[in-house]
Amino acid sequence: MSLFVALDIGGTFTDLVAFDLAGGAIRHAKSSTTPYDLSVGIRRTLEKSGLTIPAIDTFVHGSTVAINTAIERTGAKTALLVTEGMRDVYQIGRGNRPESYNLFFKRPTPYVLRRDTHEIIERLNAAGEVITALDADATAATARALGGGDIAAVAVCLIHSWANPAHEAEVGAALAREASGLFCSLSHEILREYREYERMSTTVLNAYVGPRVSRYLQDLETLLVEMGFDGQLLIMQSNGGSMSPAIARRIPVATMESGPVGGIIAAAEATRALGYRNVIAFDMGGTTAKVSLVQDNEPAIAQGYFVGGAASGHPVMYPVVDIVEVGAGGGSIAWIDEVGALKVGPRSAGGHPGPVCYGQGGTEPTVTDANVVLGRLVADHFLGGEMPLDAAAARAAIEEKIAKPLGLGVMEAALGIVRIAAAEMSLAVRSVSVGRGYDPRDFAMVAFGGAGPLHAGQIARELGIPTLIIPRVPGHFSALGMLLANLRHDYVRTYYKALDACDFTEIDTAFAAMIDEAKGVLAAEGVSADRMAFQRFLDMRYVGQEFPIQTPVTAEDIARGDAEALRAAFDRIHDRRYGHQAVNEPVEVVNLRLTATGAREKLSFPGITATVGGALIDRRPVVFNDPSKPVVSPIYDRDRLGAGETIVGPAAVVEYASTTVLFEGDRLKVAPSGELIIELGRGDAA
């Protein structure tokens, strides 16, 4: 039995998807996330799935441990070692002020205090040449002092170590000898790229979250072994690939956004099979909503992001699937501010105690409570009936906390909560489409997450998106995407020269070194040579620009050394992205990048059968647009819908972990592969 399993820990629920390669069967399970001890939720979900744990060949895991550690500031006490004279680089950061008119703007609070920042006597120039030799005795003394104190992790970031890591490697060796109990992060082992502050921030974050992530992964491995697992364990990365636990322990910063990216990968794969090339992936869970753009069936990858927000967050210079996230999920709490305005989120009820309707002690009304009151969420079908919702309690909470203070009826208040949440999520969709020069009407929307199909029709209609796609198992879709992710590792080397002055032999040598390193890593992860692939990129820009554009190149392009052809490729990408190109301006190369992938076994999900009958299971009043006029709407069981069946809204389609709402005029058709393809009507969904 070839059994592949993925488990995704979200803010509210822990999701599991299993695929039997031999029989083609998909199984899934869902349990509440247990933030006090994540292993409890993991064990509960595995037991609930009914899987035979020793039969699992591959187990892929994604979680929010790293990002939560950073945001909650619960990481290890960390020291920072820098070149003499560079002690204040991390404290000062950049001189820009992203929010010029914000009177309360504050720079990010460093994860390392100045008193825990130590200078190392050494110096390199930008070419990697030694100006001041490393003082080995002083370095050893510093390492001994750190090992004997209360420091648990050390970040080492020496100036220009991206060009020559020799001194940094010597510092790492000294730490290993004199302070072996400390978690150590060397900047050149994480990324070999210039921009001193960003590289330092990334290295510090890696060290700060490292001990906690390492303990978590060790506990996970122990738990799985206790349950009889002896297959391959893989950890999901922020870049949309997976990696071994050994790499995840060394570079935990690569797992910061490991949870959400699985759904984006799955959205790209599912829509490729359906013939859609450009889609907007919309994921709404219990805590947040995430949006990402997929073009030509490839998720957008950003080369950096900020932990804590772009304005006052900490930069992480590491590849990540480009996701915009907002605090609007099913568990987002509705509240009234000091001037009497209704707000929704970003505070969330999470999985415990959760929304009021969960009956677990929650007292604050949430988006989920509003949907139950409106009839859009069928209370006795939640999680397939395993967890019936308390509609009366939800109604009472909205009446007491929202409706009465605002002088509204309960239905008006509930509809207002849903509309505000939808408006917040619509802004996120605009930011990845209109905000980047794309017309959302040229895209389809893929909606997933437990609450995604519930709200996507309203958001898509508002933005003029014509087609909505609800994939199979939308409530477990991020976990499903993890089963589809290949092993992946990204490498970068700064190579700063004018394009017409580049030595392409040097570039070829640098790429060869990165490929050799990647081959060793992939081989250690069990990837055979014939399943390895390498994609080369040059980061290029017009002279005078700040940020480069990643331009794909081939080994043949480098071998030919045709600067004009490379420049033409860059011009085309620049024109497509920004609407213009400057063909007479000089171009320079900034970085060399390599993406190394190890192909995993391709999973082929079976289609669904023809109509089995009995899909219409109920008729209930549902509030769509007018709170005083609920519409009696048919309720369908998705598991009983066959290929080719059609439904015209208003209606609701329920399944184990999600509900799809059709407004008046919406037309749903079931694809042979099981997806729900919805052509949106022109009616008002506001």
Q: Is the pLDDT at 241 greater than 70, yes or no?
A: yes
**CB 462 within 8 Å of CB 426:** yes
Q: What percent of the chain has a predicted confidence (pLDDT) above 90?
A: 67
Per-residue pLDDT tens digits for 135-146: 999 999 999 999
For the cut 70, the answer to whether the pLDDT of residue 683 exceeds it is no
Distance CA 172, CA 180 (A): 10
Phi, psi for 614 (deg, rounded to 5): 75, 20
Burial class from Cβ neighbours inside 10 Å (0-12, 13-18, 19+) for residue 430 reads: middle
The vertex-609 CA angle with 603 and 615, nearest 5°, equals: 120
Identify the residue with better confidence: 24 or 120: 120
Q: In this structure, what token pair is assigned to residue 498?
A: 């004018």
Closest C-alpha to 487, from 673, 246, 268, 143? 246
Distance, CA of 238 to CA of 258 (rounded, Å): 5
Q: What is the pLDDT of residue 684?
A: 56
Residue 363 has pLDDT above 90, yes or no: yes
Burial label, 84 (beta-carbon count in 10 A; 0-12, 13-18, 19+): middle
Predicted local distance difference test score (pLDDT) of residue 578? 83
- At position 607, the amino acid (one-letter code) is G
Looking at residue 543, its amino acid is V
- Residue 505: Cβ within 10 Å count: 11
Helices (H) and strands (E) in the chain, counts: 18, 35
In this model, does residue 686 exceed pLDDT 60?
no
pLDDT band of 259, cuts 50, 70, 90: confident
The answer on pLDDT for 312 being more than 80 is: no
What confidence category does residue 612 fall into, taking pLDDT thresholds of 50, 70 and 90? low
Is 617 in a helix, a strand, or coil?
A: strand
What are the tokens at 370? 């509003």
Q: What is the pLDDT of residue 611?
A: 67
User: What tokens were used for 222?
Assistant: 């122990």
Q: Residue 399's pLDDT is what?
A: 96
Secondary structure letter of residue 367 according to DSSP? H
* pLDDT above 90 for 21: no
Residue 1 has pLDDT above 70, yes or no: no
| Beta carbons within 10 angstroms of residue 577's beta carbon | 12
- Share the mean pLDDT of the chain: 91
pLDDT at 36 over 80: no
Q: List pLDDT tens digits, range 220-235.
A: 999 999 999 999 999 9
**Residue 306: Cβ-neighbour burial (10 angstroms; 0-12, 13-18, 19+):** middle
What's the token pair of residue 221?
A: 């491995």
In angstroms, the Cα distances linking 227 to 45, 47, 206, 245 are 13, 10, 30, 18
Contact 159, 171 (CB under 8 A): no
pTM summary value: 0.88
Lowest mean pLDDT among 33-37, 136-140, 141-145, 453-457: 33-37
d(CA 192, CA 592): 10
* Contact call for residues 670 and 676 (beta carbons, < 8 A): yes
If you average pLDDT over residues 455-459, what whole number do you get? 94
Calpha distance 493→54 (Å, rounded): 42
Write down the H helix ranges in 498-562: 504-524, 555-560
- How much is the average pLDDT of 150-170? 96
pLDDT for position 248: 94
Q: In the predicted model, what is the mean pLDDT of residues 309-317? A: 82
Query: How do residues 45-90 score in pLDDT, each as one tens digit?
Result: 898 888 899 999 999 998 888 888 888 889 999 999 999 999 999 9
pLDDT at 579: 83
The average pLDDT across 647-667 equals: 94
Number of Cβ within 10 Å of residue 174's Cβ equals: 23
Q: Check pLDDT > 70 for residue 99.
A: yes
